[in-house]
């Protein structure tokens, strides 16, 4: 074997084959998800210390941000008033010395032992006439030389230092050199995109001769990561189109027309466009796989309902699924109002009709009720069935399910779609699928995470909405003023939501805190008003009762956990108060805020923060104050948190995107997508590129089918 090494081959060589990696080191490396030579080669530096840009200590100007490379001369540690640790290190280079102080980082005393060479990045200030850096970024360099020194993510617990990694990477590269590293990318594509070879990229990412070379290396490796993902998605899509059978519907007809005629308002252009997309999809004999993205309040329900009615009109059934019973219930009520009195053509009577039958399937039915409902579903007597996602999991049998709508589901990935295929229909044809989400997805993520779905976007709100005024409430005085405003709004006939702090991933703790908050508010800030309580631990009958009373205006305020996060629609509610808002994410706050502003009344959203929000939490609250545009917020969110939460935690160590950033690499996502489409126009096209085909094959086989889809 003398051909250049492929990723598949590199991934089959255990790291223990390297010198210096014995059993103990091997276990430590496994702790950072490095098991093979490929893992090691793609264990990329976290940062680089550019020694060509380093400043001598003597020349460092106070106020400047600089990198110094120096030796630790001494370290001292003491406690300040209040007991907080303060570590001071004296560091020196050939030109002079300075100090570095670290607040609240007691471990620095162990890290900065005398004689170590460190790179420190920070702002130079002056303290008692001496130059000093406060809490600088520190990298241990060991005795490594070179102009640009890579700094690897290291693990203190695993006992792996950055220079250990560097030396293993160097050895791995040295031992790969005789055979070289294969480049499966067609060279015309490489040239067109101005990319360097893979071998060069793997060299330069680890040992860049210049920062420009490092940037070129990153581009190539980022492109490779994204291209692999796009090729897999492309393959899945083409396979689906070639092999999946659906049910072709006639999109126009009496039922759909009758429904359109009784709407009190015209559809927005965006709704109309989405409906046209759906009509085209369900009119074909191939199943629809469409994502409907629309900000809260953009009117997704109507679009979904149109799809369901097309199914019914064609003699089939539709299912509408929500993530919780509260939401399923609410969908049911909304849909029931919209559909009441509609008639379905009845083939058993020539030219005759029968009333449309809508059912809500949920827990809490008596055994008889449930059995009857299942019979209706199985015989086709039930036209549209609303329920939770359990509809799919349980063995609910439909007579002829042809359109499925899933609301607010980010996790509805490839695996769930496979289940839909299995449970959907006995004739092997697959129902059309519409997934709705009110969480706007940044463009890069839509192309990657949902890359194999078609997307319709509702980028327009129905007319007559007044934007929600959002205020970040800081401090007890501001909170007091807020409650006065809340009361005034209630006294003028409107209603308010109060969302309780998110305690933990524990429904029961959240429930307890909601109960407590309810009692506190009912006795204090909201005394004398009718205050309801809603949390996930209540029996469904109680939840339902509370929601019904709130909807009917029999409650002035609803104290709730995030169970109200999605979908709840009470137009008369015009105030949203979120307590401890700094503990929520941007998307979640945006969803919560979307519960108000659902009518022409002006609405307010108050985000009450705890005393000392972290800088990131502050940035989130500021973003919400500044914008009500869900797409702009989603982009901001991605910037603030990186793509971490787009990935499954368990997977993140070996995630598909190690270098590529969905926040920053839009251009490359787009380029990879274009190249994938270009290379694979129809199923099997990759055969012409055996190197790439093999790489995708290897990549797809080691990867969770829902790799990116969990959130």
Which among Mg ion, ligand ADP, none contacts residue 299 (Cβ within 5 to 8 A by kind)?
ligand ADP
Helix (H, G, I), strand (E, B) or coil at 455: strand
* Shortest distance in whole angstroms from residue 483 CB to ligand ADP: 28
Nearest residue (CB) to ligand ADP, 38 versus 270: 270
Question: Restricting to residues 448-507, which ones interact with ligand ADP according to CB under 6 A?
Answer: 462
Does 323 bind Mg ion (CB under 5 A)? Our answer is no
Q: Which of residues 550-589 bind Mg ion (CB under 5 A)?
A: 567
Residue 502 · residue 583 · CB < 8 Å:
yes
- CA-to-CA separations, 216 to 199, 248, 664, 665, in angstroms, rounded: 12, 49, 15, 14
> Residue 124, Cβ neighbours under 10 Å: how many?
20
Return the range that interacts with ligand ADP (CB under 6 A); candidates 47-55, 203-211, 296-304, 479-487: 296-304
278 near ligand ADP (CB under 6 A): no
User: Are the C-beta atoms of 48 and 215 separated by less than 8 Å?
Assistant: no
- Residue 568 CA to residue 305 CA, distance in Å, equals 17
Quick note: the x/- pattern for ligand ADP over 542-581, rule CB under 6 A, is ---------------------------x------------
| Matching residue, tokens 């008033």 | 81
| Cβ contact 5:176 at 8 Å | yes
Rg for the chain (alpha carbons), in Å? Answer: 30
Shortest distance in whole angstroms from residue 267 CB to ligand ADP: 5
In whole angstroms, the minimum distance from the beta carbon of 430 to Mg ion comes to 25
Minimum CB distance to ligand ADP, residue 300 (Å): 3
Task: Give the span between the Cα atoms of 19 and 1, in whole angstroms.
Answer: 22
Q: What are phi and psi of 312, to 5 degrees?
A: -65, -45
Regarding 298 and contact with ligand ADP (CB under 6 A), the answer is yes
CB of 597 to Mg ion, least distance (A): 14
Under 8 Å CB-to-CB from 145, ≥6 apart: which residues? none
Return the number of the residue (320 or 430) whose C-beta is nearest ligand ADP: 320
Instruction: List C-alpha distances in Å: 631 to 96, 235, 585, 637.
Output: 51, 29, 15, 10
Query: Applying CB under 6 A, which part among 204-212, 225-233, 262-270, 394-402 lies near ligand ADP?
Result: 262-270
What binding mask, one character per residue, do residues 582-621 give for ligand ADP by CB under 6 A, x or -? ----------------x-----------------------
Among ligand ADP, Mg ion, none, what binds residue 296 when CB lies within 5 to 8 Å by partner kind?
ligand ADP
Place of tokens 């893992």: 39
- Is residue 246 close enough to count as binding Mg ion by CB under 5 A? no
Is residue 331 involved in binding ligand ADP (CB under 6 A)? no
299 lies in the site for ligand ADP, by CB under 6 A: yes
Which three-class secondary structure string do you get for 22-50?
Answer: CHHHHHHHHHCCCCEHHHHHCCCCCEEEE
Cβ neighbours of residue 78 closer than 8 Å, sequence gap 6 or more: 85, 86
Check binding of 296 to ligand ADP (CB under 6 A). yes
Of residues 118, 255, 302, 445, which one binds ligand ADP by CB under 6 A? 302
Q: By CB under 5 A, tell whether 297 contacts Mg ion.
A: no
Report the run of H or E that residue 170 belongs to, with start and end.
helix 162-176
Residue nearer to ligand ADP on the CB measure, 66 or 570: 570
Of 163, 78, 169, nearest to 116 by C-alpha is 163
Angle formed by the axes of helices 615-626 and 586-593, to 10°?
30
Strands 137-140, 117-127: pairing is antiparallel
For ligand ADP, the binding residue among 173, 198, 206, 300 (CB under 6 A) is: 300
Residues that bind Mg ion (CB under 5 A): 567
Chain residues binding ligand ADP by CB under 6 A are 265, 267-268, 271, 294, 296-302, 438, 462, 569, 598
């Amino acid at each position: 074997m003398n051909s250049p090494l492929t990723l598949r081959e590199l991934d089959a060589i255990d790291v223990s084959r390297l010198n210096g990696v014995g059993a103990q080191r091997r276990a430590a490396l496994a702790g950072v998800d490095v098991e093979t030579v490929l893992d090691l080669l793609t264990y990329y530096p976290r940062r680089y210390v550019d020694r060509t840009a380093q400043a001598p200590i003597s020349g460092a100007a106070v106020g400047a941000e600089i990198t110094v490379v120096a030796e630790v001369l001494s370290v001292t540690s003491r406690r300040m008033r209040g007991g907080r640790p303060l570590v001071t290190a004296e560091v020196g280079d050939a030109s002079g010395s300075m100090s570095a102080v670290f607040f609240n980082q007691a471990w620095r005393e162990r890290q900065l032992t005398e004689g170590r060479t460190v790179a420190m990045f920070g702002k130079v200030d002056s303290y008692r006439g001496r130059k000093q850096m406060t809490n600088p970024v520190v990298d241990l360099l060991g005795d490594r030389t070179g102009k640009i020194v890579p700094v690897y993510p290291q693990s203190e617990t695993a006992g792996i230092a950055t220079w250990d990694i560097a030396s293993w990477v160097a050895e791995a590269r040295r031992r790969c050199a005789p055979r070289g590293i294969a480049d499966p990318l067609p060279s015309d594509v490489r040239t067109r995109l101005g990319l360097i070879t893979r071998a060069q990229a793997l060299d330069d990412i680890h040992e860049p001769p210049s920062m420009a070379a490092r940037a070129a290396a990153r581009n190539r490796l980022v492109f490779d990561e994204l291209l692999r993902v796009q090729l897999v998605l492309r393959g899945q899509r083409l396979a689906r189109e070639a092999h999946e059978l659906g049910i072709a519907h006639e999109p126009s007809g009496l039922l759909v027309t009758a429904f359109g005629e009784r709407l009190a308002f015209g559809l927005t252009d965006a709704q109309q466009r989405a409906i046209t997309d759906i009509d085209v999809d369900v009119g074909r004999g191939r199943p629809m796989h469409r994502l409907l993205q629309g900000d809260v309040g953009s009117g997704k329900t109507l679009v979904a309902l149109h799809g369901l009615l097309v199914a019914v009109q064609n003699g089939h059934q539709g299912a509408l699924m929500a993530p919780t019973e509260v939401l399923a219930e609410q969908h049911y009520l909304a849909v029931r109002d919209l559909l009441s009195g509609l008639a379905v053509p009845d083939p058993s009577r020539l030219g005759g009709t029968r009333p449309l039958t809508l059912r809500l399937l949920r827990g809490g039915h008596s055994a008889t009720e449930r059995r009857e409902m299942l019979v209706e579903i199985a015989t086709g007597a039930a036209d549209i069935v609303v329920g939770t996602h359990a509809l799919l999991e349980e063995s609910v049998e439909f007579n002829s399910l042809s359109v499925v709508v899933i609301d607010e589901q980010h996790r509805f990935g490839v695996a769930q779609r496979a289940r839909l295929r299995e449970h959907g229909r006995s004739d092997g044809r697959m129902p059309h699928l519409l997934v709705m989400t009110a969480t706007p997805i940044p463009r890069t993520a839509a192309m990657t995470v949902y890359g194999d779905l078609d997307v319709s976007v509702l980028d327009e709100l129905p007319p007559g909405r007044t934007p929600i005024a959002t205020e970040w409430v800081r401090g007890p005085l501001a909170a007091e003023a807020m409650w006065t405003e809340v009361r005034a709004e209630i006294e003028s006939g409107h209603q308010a939501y109060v969302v309780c702090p998110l305690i933990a991933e524990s429904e029961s703790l959240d429930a307890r805190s909601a109960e407590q908050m309810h009692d506190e508010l009912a006795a204090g800030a909201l005394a004398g008003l009718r205050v309801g309580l809603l949390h996930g631990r209540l029996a469904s009958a109680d939840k339902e009762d509370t929601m019904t009373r709130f909807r009917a205006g029999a409650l002035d305020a609803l104290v709730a956990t995030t169970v109200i996060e999605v979908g709840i629609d009470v137009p008369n509610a015009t105030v949203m108060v979120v307590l401890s808002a700094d503990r929520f994410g941007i998307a979640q706050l945006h969803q919560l805020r979307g519960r108000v502003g659902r009518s022409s009344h002006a609405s307010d959203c108050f985000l009450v923060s705890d005393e000392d929000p972290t800088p990131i939490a502050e940035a989130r609250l500021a973003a919400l104050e500044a914008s009500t545009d869900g797409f702009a917020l989603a982009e901001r969110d991605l910037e603030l948190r990186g793509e971490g939460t787009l990935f499954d935690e368990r997977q993140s160590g070996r995630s598909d995107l190690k270098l590529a950033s969905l926040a920053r690499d839009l251009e490359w996502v787009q380029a990879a997508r274009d190249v994938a489409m270009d290379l694979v126009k129809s199923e099997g096209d990759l055969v012409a590129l055996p190197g790439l085909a093999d790489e995708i094959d290897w990549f797809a086989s080691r990867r969770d089918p829902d790799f990116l889809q969990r959130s």
